[in-house]
Every structure is written in C-alpha cells, then in structure tokens.
Structure 1
Amino acid sequence: MGSLTIQAAKQRTLPKKLVLVTFLLGIFMGALDNGIVGPALSSINEHYGIAASWGVWSFTIYTLFFSVSIPVMGKLSDRFGRKNVFTAGILLFAIGSLLSAISPNFAFFLVGRAIQAIGTGGIFPITAAQIAASYPTEQRGKYLGYIGVIFGLGSILGPVAGAGIIAYLQWQWIFLINIPITLIILLLLTKVEIEQQLVKKPIDSYGIVLLTASILSIMLGITIENLVLIGIGVAIFIPLSLVEKKAKDPIMNMKFFANRNTLFILLLSLASGFIMATTINLLPMFGEEILGLSKGEAGIGVTPLAVSSMVASLVGGILVDKIGARNVLFAGFLITLVGGLSLYLLVSSVITLILTIVVMGFGIGIIIGAPLNVMIMQHIALQETGSAIGYLSLFRSMGSTMGPTIAGIILITFTNGFTFVYLAVAILSMVSLVLLATLKRVEVQR
C-alpha cells in the first residue's frame, strides 16, 4: 500500500527537468520585462503627461523594491518553502503587471511597478536556490549556468518585443503580456512537489523592517547621489545588528559577514554587478561619443555582448563541474580585466569595439553566472540556501546600481571620462582576482 502511494505521488509530480523549466520560465519572464519597458518609456511619459525626469522612476522604483525583496524572499523560502515563496512571487508579479497596465495615474503605476519588483525578488534568487539544492555537486554548475542563458535570451528579446508592441499595440500590452505567462507557470507549479527541510523558528519581523529601511535608504542614496541617505542606511545597521543577535532566526545572518570566505564571496558579487552594469549601460554612449556611431548602431552594439554572455554562462557552468567554481571565476575576472584594459587603451574602431565587447561579454557571463552561486553553497548549511543566495543577489544588485552612478560622476568630472570608467572596471577586476586568491579552499560535498 505504501509503495502504491509513493508511485501515485510520483505520477502527480512533474519530472525533474520540467520542474527546472518551470522555474527558468520565471527567470525568462523577469528578464523579458526588464528590457521590454525601455521602448515604451516615452509612450508612458506621454500618457501620464509627465517629464522624462519623472519617467525614469518607473525603473528606479523597480530597482529599489527588487533589492529590498531579494533577501526577505530568500529568507522566507527557507521558512515557508521555495515552492510557496516562488508561487507568491509569480502572483505578485502578475498583480503588479495588471496594476501597471490599468493605472489611472502615474503614482498608481509606480505602485504596480513596486509590486512587480517584490514579486521578482521571489523569482530570481529562489530559482538559483532551487537548482543548487536539487542537483548534486558534480552537476550543479551546469544547471545553474542555464539561468544566465535564459536571462540573456530574455534580455535580448525584451527590447525587440517592446518595440514591436509599441509599433502595433497600446503600451499597456507590455505589462499585459505577462499575465498568460504567469498563468502557465502557476499551472505548472500545481504539479511541482519539492522536498525541503524547513526552518521552524519565529519570523524576525523587527529585523525585516530594519533591513528594509537600511537597503531602501542606501539604494535610494546611491541612485540620487545623496550621501545623507547612504549614511542613514549604514547607521541603521547598528540597531539591526543588535536585533539580529537576539533573534532566533535572524533575517540577516551575521555569520555571512563574520566569516571571511562568505564576506569575500558577497563582495565579489558586488564587483560582478558593478562591472556588468557599468559596461552594458555605457557601451551605447561610448559608441556614440567616441566612435561617432548613430544611436541605433550603438544600441545594437550591446547585442554581441549579450550573446557572448549567454554562451559564457553555459560554458562556465559546465566548467565549474569539471575544474571548480573558484578557478572558473578567476578566469572570468581575468577576462573582464583584459576587456576593461582593451576598452581603456585599444578600442578606436567598430571592429575593435565588437571584438572587445565579445570578450568582455564572455567574462561578464562567467562572473554573474554559476561560480558564485556554487561557491556560496560550499560555505553554508543546506537549510540556509535561500537566504545565502538572496544576499548574493542583493550584493550584485547593489553593485549594478553603484556602477552606473559612479560612472556618471566620473564622466561629469573628467574630460576623457570613458577612459577612467573602463580603467576603474579593470582595477576592480584586478581587486577581485586578489580577493579570490586569498579565499581559503573549502570544498563541501552536498
């Protein structure tokens, strides 16, 4: 009777590969949305009668709430289960998409974007945590590499889909297109069963509130270049650390920051986000101002980087299983070092630019891909997977915000600002290589 029950349960459950596809479909939807909004920005501004300076808040509010939700959703997945929190993320994303599409005014539109962002925080890190927890050490890198491939594909198709929708339909459809995708994912999730050891301790409510306030203050301060807000965000860490010492299940696990290896891995994630966002955001402007390309030509120039990054994510993931995450990550930062120096010293024509961004894209695909996820897993308990990968994603998001902000300051301050920006990318790659060299070699088999 017991064996019949087990067999029936297996029949109701999706095969392991379809479970993987279900989670990756969430990644694709989030990546698609990330790029699909850009082409519609002018239409959104015109619809609500707002200036472009206000319109960019459709991106800013998304970045802020995405950053806040990542560690919280990651921690909740350890408490309530990855499937439940991922499902909640998909539902929130669908609700946010619908609200953004039907918003009567811009303020309501921003609320929809904020809800979308919170939902995305329950999709990206939990997908990585699910893959990391579902596959053995010798296969983990390969399957984590798929995240980069799917994210890259969505990022490439997003602007194309956005431009197509704007050309033939109302801008609201860039959000409404998410609804059928979320319904498919939710339908598949009803057939997903996940075995997970849950943390059965009280929720750290005070810690969540303080951490949220700290992240919002720091990220907003970086975005609008306000040192006071950044200082307030950092100062909140004092009461937060006191609260977390007493919490039975702290939202911010102080061990991640007290342990040199996990701290360095988080800093490497920060560096990877900085390098990625700085390179991608500035390439079109670099092509226009330095090489004299048209806006269309300069924009298309990012595509080779995205394709190269997709290939690198897959190749890097496979290599992680063969030669180790640390060695692959070292190669990735070495490649971004070469790419940064090339942009600093060598690029003077379209041909050299394309060659350089292909190289740079390959390095970026590695440093934001599987190696860091695998490395953080080597230094934590299995039941902390969601929380740890959540913080890894948070630090990458913070780096992605800091990079373009600091690059903008450099461009304003120096006459030949681009050279200094890419020199900074090269220097940060070198610092990352030094951090990697000082990491203790710890291999934990799971």
Structure 2
Amino acid sequence: MTQLQLPARAPVEQDEQAGAMPALTVLLISLAYFMVTLDALVVVTALPSIHRQFGGSLATLQWTVSAYNTTYAAGILTAAALGDRLGRRRVFLGGLVLFAVASALCALAPNTATLIAFRSVQGLGAAAVMPTGLTLLSSAFPAEKRSAVVGIWGGVAGLGVAAGPLVGGGVTQGLSWHWIFWVNVPVGLLVFLGARLRVRESFGPRAPLDLPGLVSVTLGVGVLVWALVDGPQDGWTSAPVLLAFAAAAALLAAFVRRQAGAAAPMIPLGLFRSGRFAIAALTQLATGASIFSAAFLTSEYFQFGRGDGPLATGLRFLPWTATPLLVAPIAGAVHDRVGARRLVVPGLLMQAAGFVWIIHLAGTHGGYGAFVAPFVIAGVGISITLPCIPATGLNSVPPAWLGKASGVLTMSQLLGATVGVAITTIVFDANGSLLGADAATAGYRPALAVAAGLSVAGALLALGLRRTRQP
C-alpha cells in the first residue's frame, strides 16, 4: 500500500488556535454538530404529518430529507476550501447564521415546494458548519488526543441523534411539524455567540481560491445527488436522469483533471495515496447509507405500518439513537489503543444483526419491548463505529490537509446517505406502498434488508483499516 507523501507542515495551521480554550472549543463545536445532526433526523418522525398536510408520494417525502443532504454534500468541499483561506471560524459562524435563518423559514413554509427549497438552504449552512467545525476541533489538539476528542464530539452529537426522532415526534404531536425547525434557532444563536467570543480563528494554507474547481465540484456533486434521488421517480432511463448522470460525470472528471495539475488543489489527490484514508472515506459512505436509509424507512414503518403516532415513534427509536451519547466517547478513547478495524468491523456487523432482527419482528405483532433489544444491539454497534472512522481518516493526513480531509469524509457520509435512501426507496416502492399497514410492512422488510447489507459492506471495507504510524 502506497504511503502518503506528506507536504511541508504549515505553521499557520495552529498559530491562532494554540491559545484557544480546549474544553470550551469541544463543547461549542459539539453543540453545532448537535444542531446539524438533530435537523437531519428531527424531520423523519414528522414526515407522515407533512405528508398528510401537503400530500405527495414517498418520493416527495424523500426530497424533504434529500434536499438537505444534496446541498450539504455539494457545498462541503467549497466550505472547507473557503475556511482554509478566509478563516475556519469565520466560515463556521457564517454557516451558523445561514442554518438558523433557513430553519426559521422552513418553520414558516406553506407548501412542500417551499419546504424543500428552504431545506436546501439549510444544507448549505450545514455544509459550512460541519467541516470547519471538525477542523477547528482537530487542529486544537495533537494527534495523540484527537481520537478521544472526536469521541466526545461524537457523543454529544449522539444526543442530537437520540433527540432528533424524539423531539420531532413530541413537537409534531404536541404542536405541529412546523415547530420542529424552530428548535435550531436558539441553539444556533447560543453557539454563534460562544464561538464568536471564545473559539480562536484557524487557517489552512493561504492558497488562491480555485474558482473553476469550486464550480465544477459543487455542480458535479449536486447534479449527481439530484440524479440519484430523482431516478426512482422519473425512471433511471429517462432523458433528464441520464443527462444528469452524464453532466455529473463530465463535471467531476473535469474537477479531477484540474486537481491533478493545480499548484494548490482543493482536494490534494495525494490524500488517496494513503490507503487508510481512502478506505475510511469509502467506509464512511457505506455507514451513512445504512444509518440514514434505516432511519427514514423505520419512521415510515412505525407510523404507516403499525399506526404509531409521532411521539411513540420517537420513543421507539430511543434505544437505537441514544447509545452514541454513552458509547461513542468510550470508543473514541479506545480507538487509539486498538485501532479502527477492531472496532468498526464488529460495530457495523452488530448494526446489521440488529436490523435483521427488526426485519423478523416487522412480520409479527410485537409491542414496544420486543424492539428494544435489536435496537440496542444496532445502536451500540453504530456508536462504536461513528467516532472511529473520521478519527482514523484524519490521523492519516498531515495538519495542512485536515480541512480538506474532513470535507471529503463528511461529503462521503452524506453521499452515502442519499444513495442509501434512494436505493432503499426503490426497493420499498417495488414491494409495497404507503397505502395501508400491510403494504407499508411489505415494502419495509426488504428495504431494511438492503440497509443491513450496506452495513455489512461497510464492515468488509473496514477490514482494510490497518494501523499505521500517525503523521
């Protein structure tokens, strides 16, 4: 396996960060991730209520999730590049403002089209917050402490994962689905004020902005994700979808060619000469596909297939989604001693096993208690996995590339989420529908089997995460 050729370490990477307040930095960056993660999942238990108010098919519901992930994925590399040049804290703060404003606009949305449009704007804000926040956090700590810190970050974010379906269900049932978006506004304001006052600025290499590269990668990823989401609805051989795939391929090929010859590339292709980083990115993609597709499908199943209300659905999710809060920090600390492979492989296999058990239960009339054990197994498994993949990926690159590496890893997860939801929606539609409990169950079981398979695929990829010396 070819070893990564390290560029000269840039002293500017830690110049202003050296005097930062580490504990407060962890707290504020984790709260920002909490907000972004909460919004990714807070909508899943509200989707049936949105469906009842606005109508539409499962594909329409899919767009309320995928519109967010599309712009999130498309904007990450641009945000990471802008953060390196303009200042990561500055881009982070701008993303917080955009995210909070878009959340308020989502809350006021009068129809599906408007909601989807503002969800797209939310995704742009998340794209600015996520990679710059992770890089601010990573650059504040040496490599030997980074895994533990990322574990804490993942644990606090796990609260967002746990709270998302529960908050979405409780607020939707007690008030209305519009209110699920208002919760982001006070959290965003709190983090903005704290980060503005207490988090120190951090820069990457002061390279010129590659505007053609920014345009080609943003449009390329955006068009690709659109094609993946729209393919099941319009047909994979329809002219718009085929044209979108061709355009995405041309744009991304042009981006790669430009990066190969650029003096200051947005994505140094040398990143992928590190086998460990490349495998971490692919594992992140498979993990995102498995988690998001399972969450999307399971919310629809509980409400359409079993007749649960939004709050009851959120409570059913809790044994699965609450575990990262407890397990992820421990996994992050253990990661440095045992390596990612020994944690990620069994973790993803545990999640797959939990999903297979749930598939069996979906054919029975078991109550709440019957689902607790498989959800706990799946939750512990993914909790072990979540902090280890980004930690091993970031530890595979030198400090000067942290911003770009975190952007690639985050984009991989979001692309995986979109691909996973798209694939499982195809399977669901081929076997069932939302037009009754039996039809919803018939579509859910084979679709969740695909999500379990994606988790197994991630475990197989993670077998290549061998321990190497940190740069």
* TM-score band w.r.t. shorter chain: 0.7 to 0.9
User: Deviation at 1:360?
Assistant: 0.8
Specify the alignment match of 2:435 in structure 1.
none
1:433 to 439, 446, 459: 459
**Offset of residue 222 of structure 1:** 1.2
Q: 2:395 aligns with which of 370, 373, 378?
A: 378
Once residues 320 and 337 of structure 2 are traced to their aligned partners in structure 1, the CA distance between those partners, rounded to angstroms, is 25
SS at match of 1:191: helix
The corresponding residue for 1:137 is 143
Counterpart position of 2:56: 52
Of 368, 371, 377, which residue of structure 2 is paired with 1:353?
371
Q: Which residue of 2 aligns with 1:270?
A: 285
Structure 1 letter corresponding to 2:341: R
User: Displacement of 1:156 after TM fit?
Assistant: 3.5
Residue identity in the other structure for 2:149: Y
Q: Following superposition of structure 1 onto structure 2, how do residues 310-389 of structure 1 map, counting pairs within 5 Å? A: 310-343=325-358, 349-350=366-367, 351-367=369-385, 369-389=386-406
Distance 1:241 1:344, change over 3 A: same
- 2:52 is the alignment partner of 1:26: no
CA contact (8 A) 2:45 2:313 kept: no
* Residues matched between the structures, number: 429
Tell me by how many angstroms 1:171 deviates: 6.3
What letter matches 2:380 in structure 1? F
Counterpart contact for 1:81–1:196, Cα < 8 Å: yes
Structure 1 residues 372 and 46, CA gap change in structure 2 (3 angstroms): closer
Q: Deviations over 1:371-423 (max 9, x none)?
A: 11111123212111121111111111111111122122223435866554454
Offset at residue 206 of structure 1 (A) = 0.5
Measure the CA separation in 2 of the matches of 1:414 and 1:102: 35
Change (3 A) 1:220 1:301: same
Residue 153, structure 1, aligned to residue 155, structure 2: no
Q: Compute the displacement of 1:157 (Å).
A: 3.0
> For residue 123 of structure 2, what is the amino acid of its counterpart?
A
Which stretches in structure 2 are left out of the alignment for 5+ residues?
1-15, 433-441
The answer to whether the 8 A contact 2:424-2:451 is kept is no
Q: Is 1:305–2:320 an aligned residue pair? A: yes
Q: Verify the 8 A CA contact 1:37 1:174 in the aligned structure 2.
A: yes
Residue type of the alignment partner of 2:56:
A
Identity %: 25
Q: Residue 92 of structure 2 aligns with which residue?
A: 86
In 2: Cα distance, 1:142 partner to 1:317 partner: 5
Q: Which moved more, 1:151-160 or 1:127-136?
A: 151-160
Verify the 8 A CA contact 2:166 2:313 in the aligned structure 1.
no
Q: 5 Å matches for 1:141-220? A: 141-162=147-168, 173-194=179-200, 196=202, 198-220=204-226
**Distance of 1:408 and 1:238 partners within structure 2:** 28
How do 1:243-262 residues align onto structure 2 when only pairs under 5 Å count?
A: 243-262=258-277
Change in Cα spacing, 1:104 to 1:299, as seen in structure 2 (3 Å) is: closer
Aligned residue among 250, 257, 273 for 1:235 = 250
Assess if the C-alpha contact under 8 Å between 2:159 and 2:324 holds in 1: no
Q: For the structure 1 residues 28 and 436, does the alpha-carbon distance in structure 2 shift closer, same or farther, using more than 3 Å as the test? A: closer
Q: Which moved more, 1:119-128 or 1:109-118?
A: 109-118
Q: Cα offset for 1:20? A: 1.6
1:253-286: per-residue Cα shift (whole Å, max 9, x none)? 3233454332221110111011212322233455
Tell me, in whole angstroms, the C-alpha distance in 1 between the residues paired with 2:351 and 2:52.
Answer: 39
**What is the aligned counterpart of 2:469 among 433, 439, 443?**
443
- State how far apart, in whole Å, the 2-side matches of 1:113 and 1:417 are: 27
- State the shift of 1:241 in Å: 1.8
Q: Secondary structure at the match of 2:323?
A: helix
Q: Deviations over 1:61-94 (max 9, x none)?
A: 2221111112221232222232122111112213
Find the aligned partners of 1:432 and 1:98 in 2 and give their Cα distance. Answer: 36
Q: 1:288: Cα distance to partner?
A: 7.0
SS of 1:135's equivalent in the other structure is coil
Residue range with higher mean Cα deviation, 399-408 or 423-432: 423-432
Distance 2:349 2:175 in 1: 45
Deviates most, 94-103 or 141-150: 94-103
Question: Structure 1: which 5+ runs fail to align?
Answer: 1-9
CA contact (8 A) 1:26 1:185 kept: yes
Aligned CA distance change for structure 1 residues 288 and 384 (closer, same or farther; 3 Å): same
- Comparing 89-98 with 355-364, greater Cα deviation is found at 89-98
Match of 1:295 in 2: 308
For the residues of structure 2 that align with 1:437 and 1:174, how far apart are their CA atoms? 39
Q: Give the TM-score of the pair, scaled to structure 1.
A: 0.83
Code of the aligned partner of 2:375: I
Summarize deviations over 1:27-51 as a string: whole Å, max 9, x none.
222233334445666777898xx54
Q: 1:167 to 1:273 in 2, by over 3 A?
A: closer
Task: Give the TM-score taking structure 2 as reference length.
Answer: 0.79
Q: Counterparts of 2:416 and 2:383 in 1: how far apart (Å)?
A: 16
Greater alpha carbon shift after TM alignment, 274-283 vs 421-430: 421-430
SS at 2:322 equivalent: helix
Q: 2:421 aligns with which of 391, 398, 404?
A: 404
Which gives a bigger RCO, structure 1 or 2 (Cα 8 Å, sep 6+)?
2
**Mean CA deviation greater in 13-22 or 113-122:** 13-22
How has the CA–CA distance of structure 1 residues 374 and 303 changed in structure 2, closer, same or farther, with 3 Å as cutoff?
Answer: same
Answering whether residue 64 of structure 2 is matched by residue 61 of structure 1, we say no
Change (3 A) 1:187 1:423: closer
